[in-house]
Amino acid sequence: MLTKEDFKKIKKEAKLEIAVLEQEYHDIGQKLDSSQSDQRKNRRYASLVIELCSIMEQMLNQLYQNVYQKSFNSTELMKIPAYRARSNMEMIQAELTKQQITLKSGKENMAHALSQVFQARNRLIHENFTFASIVKEDMKEEQTFEAMLDTIKRYRKHLKYLRPE
């Protein structure tokens, strides 16, 4: 069973990993100057997005495993009609919500924002690993990555465990 202390520990581990990744992002700007190709920078941003989503997936999977005492199995959950059209992240969020692990009141839109980050990650993977394929209109690569990073950080921050001990 998940305790509030376990919950806080799992969230803190994710926060620390996100901070390391954020520092790597800032280092890209310092290490890659204009003489290096945009292609290299593009690949670095793409790999950071993949890792950023992996950190979030790992956090949610750890929470799921602690709550249910078993590994997350999307194939099994897809047998539930309401889950058939949902992504793995949407399924795991729904399952965690059943156990009082949810976003703060008024922050429910963060679940949709997280879903958009994961959709962008999937598009990135399927579009030949090119970050340019997910850069938002009227934004630069840096702005797009920073928006994704901010979404992940805010989602993690606003995730709460409401079950009393």
Strand-pair category, 101-103 with 159-161: antiparallel
Write out the H or E segment, with its range, that includes residue 102: strand 101-103
Q: Do the Cβ atoms of 61 and 86 come closer than 8 Å?
A: no
- The whole-angstrom distance between residue 128's C-alpha and the CA centroid of its chain comes to 20
Q: Which pLDDT belongs to residue 137?
A: 82
Q: How many CA atoms lie within 13 A of 157 on its CB side?
A: 9
Q: What is the DSSP string of 122-145?
A: HHHHHTTT-GGGGPPTT--HHHHH
- From 94, 92, 144, select the one nearest 121 (Cα to Cα): 144
> Other CB atoms closer than 10 Å to residue 107's CB: what's the count?
16
The residue whose two tokens read 């579009």 is 127
pLDDT of residue 35: 55
Would you state the pLDDT for residue 152?
A: 97
Q: What is the pLDDT along the chain (165 residues), one digit of tens a residue?
A: 889 999 999 999 999 999 999 999 988 877 766 556 777 888 889 999 999 999 999 999 999 999 999 999 989 988 988 888 888 889 999 999 999 999 999 998 999 999 999 999 999 888 878 888 898 788 888 899 999 999 999 999 999 998 755
Q: Are 77 and 95 in contact (CB under 8 A)?
A: yes
State residue 36's pLDDT score. 61
- State the pLDDT at residue 104: 92
**127 vs 119: CA distance, rounded Å:** 12
